[in-house]
Amino acid sequence: MLGVSVASRSPGGVADGVMVSIEEVNGAPALLGWVGPVLVGVLVPNIADGRITFDEFLAGSSR
């Protein structure tokens, strides 16, 4: 897991206490959003026709 913990709020940034990690989900890279031990969101990129879009999955599980 590659994790980044953000300590301060900045314009367009991530709020205090939020951690973002990059993980493999079903064989694809995904960006996971955590608040403490609770998983609050998963973004899985789709790459097609030279464009990147994201499928968003909301979660509510704990580590």
pTM beyond cutoff 0.75 = no
pLDDT on residue 9: 47
pLDDT on residue 15: 64
b (16+ CB within 10 A) / e for 27-37 = eeebbbbbeee
DSSP β-bridge partners for residue 56 = 43
10 versus 46: the higher-pLDDT residue is 46
Domain ranges of the chain: 2-57
The answer, yes or no, to whether residue 47 has pLDDT greater than 50, is: yes
Q: Which of 46, 51, 14 is nearest to 30 (CA)?
A: 46
pLDDT on residue 8: 44
Contact residues for 24 (Cβ-Cβ < 8 A; gap 6+): 30
pLDDT on residue 6: 46
